[in-house]
Amino acid sequence: MELTPAVIGQMLVTGVLVGSIYGAVAMGFSLIFGVVRIVNFAHAGGVVWAMYAVFLVTSGGVLGPYLATALVIPVFFGLGYLLQRALMVRIADMTEEMHIVFTFGLLLVLTYLAQFAFGHDVRFLASSERHLAFGGIVVQREILVGGGVAALSALGLHVALARTWLGKAIRASADNRRGAVLIGLDVRALQRVAVAVSVASAALAGGLLATFTTLYPLRAFELAILAFLIVVLSGIRSLLGSFGGGVIVGVLEGAGTLLLSPSLAQLGIHALIFAALLIRPEGLWGRKEAV
Amino acid sequence: MLLRVRDLQVHYGPFQALFGVSLEIDEGEAVCLLGGNGAGKTTTLRALMGALPISGGTVELLGQRVEHRASHELAAMGMIHVPEGRELFPSLTVLENLELGCVTPGTRRRSAETLAVVLDLFPALRGRRRQLAGTLSGGEQQMVAIGRGLMGRPKLLMLDEPSLGLAPVLVDAVFATLERIKAEGTTIVVVEQHIHHALRVCGRGYVLEGGRIAQEGSTADLGRSDRLRAAYLGM
């Protein structure tokens, strides 16, 4: 393909939009890490199960994928609340290695349950086949809507954490948990809300991804590694930083696919992230010293 | 009676830290807990605040038994803790730190009003509202910690070593503030190493020694006590 300005522009726009959804996945991942101090690899398992849920609801033929997503989000919010209440609170005081064993194990369980329930087949939702064109750049409608909704939700989450009392209390318990307990904040309740919001954000990202990408159980592993790399690249503490990291990875993926090939693009992304971390081990937006 | 503690016992694993501490605090009083390092002052405060498990004894707050309630439930009842070492939220702003002291919906509704009172008490914080709490000096951080406690409109304000790590002139300022808070009618319990300051603000005191109450009485009597000096000098 010839690299005309329109082709490059299209690659950038699509990359930013798809990257916004990666960013939303990464934000949910770093929200849990910030508040509960658990690296939750199972987060991507939630994304993929949300994709299947949206796929199943949509295949009923009554609801479109966006309404299906709106239906799945509150269910996942409740599941996240239960996940924290019943499971994660029990492992919170264990070592980080145990956290990884536990959440990676949960990712395996979710992946193999998906394989058992849905098989290995690659599935996809019917596309609207509608495209929007401006200035020679053509974008599939689902990608435009998905990226836009993901970016707005990320902004909404950021504003809610910055401005509301509940958001400030969640940030406070991430900043100094002992202090939060001592002054009388109900830290366990705040953690349950934070994990519920995180899992709900996984459902949103899953629903949006399902509208334009393929779906198979092992997608969970690819997304888990992608989200982990994004938050490590961004410095895991900053939610907006994680979102920005997602956008960068989306653009790199687009550029790699355009210039090389899809599989070489994945290799290229990981090589670039590795190189970035060698130069800035604290992450792109991370502070030199963790407070 | 605002707070009645009977025979409070606390264990850290197999080690007993408190061997039956009893305290009585009336509304409007200012009471100090004195004693050397390891005497059990902070343990007493944290156990009362629900931050440590209690292995024996009873705690009555406003006539209700509360010895197994969690910190956030006690804070909602008006027992507010200004912890040792300040325990601020360093990457949040001064204003956000203060707002987080409003732990109940009722105090949140009145937060603007309370904030005005707190900023009158600590005018130095007025210009620093948007600054990150972690960038303040030690004295300013202590003001934020006390201010954050006041934002919860405490019935009982429990301060753990508010003078820790502060220069003498700032210690004076902190205790002058405590005198004003007491004059407004807030009941105060303060754990303190600076006995002379504590005795100036508080009407009564308890001296802890080895996890027990060794002495109690008016601060005038305690000030003359050889035993208090002994407790501090570790003799």
User: Distance (Å) from the C-alpha of residue A219 to the closest C-alpha of chain B?
Assistant: 36
Q: Are B15 and B40 in contact (CB under 8 A)?
A: no
Q: What pLDDT, on a 0 to 100 scale, did the predictor assign at position A135? A: 81
Q: Among B134, B152, B170, give the residue marking a domain's end.
A: B152
What whole-number distance in Å separates Cα of residue B37 and Cα of residue B17?
12
Task: Decide if pLDDT at A194 tops 80.
Answer: yes
- Contact: B87, A178; criterion CB under 8 Å: yes
Is the same domain home to B193 and B148?
Answer: no
Using CA atoms, how far residue A223 sits from A25, A95, B197, in Å, is 8, 24, 60
Regarding whether B89 and B17 lie in a shared domain, the answer is: no
Residues B187 and B113 in one domain: no
Chain A residues with CB inside 8 Å of B100's CB?
165, 168-169, 172, 180, 183, 185
What's the mean pLDDT in A19-23? 96
pLDDT at A286 over 80: no
Range of the domain at B48: 1-78+154-235
Residue with tokens 């954490």: A161
At A290 the pLDDT is 40
How far, in Å, CA of A21 to CA of A16, rounded? 9
Q: Is A169 on the interface with B (CB under 8 A)?
A: yes
Cβ B82 vs Cβ B160: under 8 Å: yes
Query: Residue A188's closest chain B neighbor by CA?
Result: B72
Give me the residues paired with residue B56 across strands: B9
Give chain B positions within 8 Å (CB) of A291.
90-91, 134
Same structural domain, B70 and B166? yes
| Residues 114 through 133 of chain A touching chain B, CB cutoff 8 Å | none
pLDDT digits (tens, 9 = 90+) for A107-124: 999 999 999 999 988 988
Question: Which chain A residue shows the shortest CA-CA distance from B96?
Answer: A168
ipTM surpassing 0.90:
yes
The answer to whether the Cβ–Cβ distance between A183 and B101 falls below 8 Å is: yes
Determine the Cα angle at A67 with ends A63 and A73, to 5°.
130
Nearest-by-CA chain A residue for B48: A182
Q: Name residues of chain B where pLDDT drops below 50.
A: 234-235
Whole-number pLDDT of residue A238: 81
Q: How far apart are CA B82 and CA B88, in angstroms?
A: 10
Same domain flag for B47 and B115: no
Query: Could you tell me the fold of the domain covering A5-279?
Result: ABC transporter involved in vitamin B12 uptake, BtuC (1.10.3470)
The minimal CB distance from B90 to the residues A176, A183, A186 is found for A176
In this structure, the answer to whether residues B63 and B170 fall within a common structural domain is: yes
Specify the number of domains making up chain B.
2
Mean pLDDT check: name the lowest of A153-162, A264-273, B214-223: A264-273
Last residue of a domain, which of B120, B136, B152? B152
> Can you tell me the distance from the alpha carbon of A234 to that of A237, in angstroms, rounded to the nearest whole number?
8
How sure is the predictor about A1, in pLDDT bands with cuts at 50, 70 and 90? low
| Domain match, B11 and B111 both | no
Place of tokens 């953690």: A191
C-beta separation of B79 from B61 below 8 A: yes
Neighbours of B11 (CB within 10 A): 14
CB A157 within 8 A of CB A196: no
Task: Give the chain B residue nearest A176 (alpha carbons).
Answer: B89
Closest CA to A103 of A186, A188, A246, A227: A227
State chain B's maximal CA–CA distance in angstroms. 51
B2 and B94, same domain (yes or no) = no
Do residues B161 and B227 share a domain? yes
Q: Name the domain boundary from B98, B124, B152.
A: B152
A255 CB-contact burial (10 Å; exposed 0-12 / middle 13-18 / buried 19+): middle
Count other Cβ atoms within 10 Å, centred on residue A86: 9
Question: Do B33 and B98 share a structural domain?
Answer: no
Q: Residues of A with CB below 8 A from B51's CB?
A: 181-182
B132 and B165 co-located in one domain: no
Q: What is the mean pLDDT of residues A5-21?
A: 93
Domain containing residue B201: CATH number: 3.40.50.300
β-pair partners for B147: none
Residue A164 touches partner B, C-beta closer than 8 Å: no
Residue A1 Cα, gap to closest chain B Cα (Å) = 49
How far away is chain B from the Cα of A290, in angstroms, using its nearest Cα? 11
Q: Are A244 and A234 in contact (CB under 8 A)?
A: yes
Cross-chain CB nearest to B75 (options A168, A175, A184): A184
Query: A291–B134: do the CB atoms touch at under 8 Å?
Result: yes
Do B58 and B22 share a structural domain? yes
The pLDDT value given to residue B231: 61
Tell me the nearest-neighbour CA distance from B229 into chain A, angstroms.
31
Pick from A175, A178, A185: which is nearest to B103 by CB? Answer: A185
Residues 30-59 of chain B whose Cβ lies under 8 A from any Cβ of chain A? 46, 49, 51
CA–CA dist B184, B118 (Å, integer): 12
C-alpha–C-alpha distance, residues A182 and B3, integer Å: 19
DSSP per-residue letters across A89-100: HHHTTS-HHHHH
Residue with tokens 């009722």: B106
Q: Could you tell me if A141 lies within 8 Å of chain B, comparing CB atoms?
A: no
- The model's pTM is 0.91
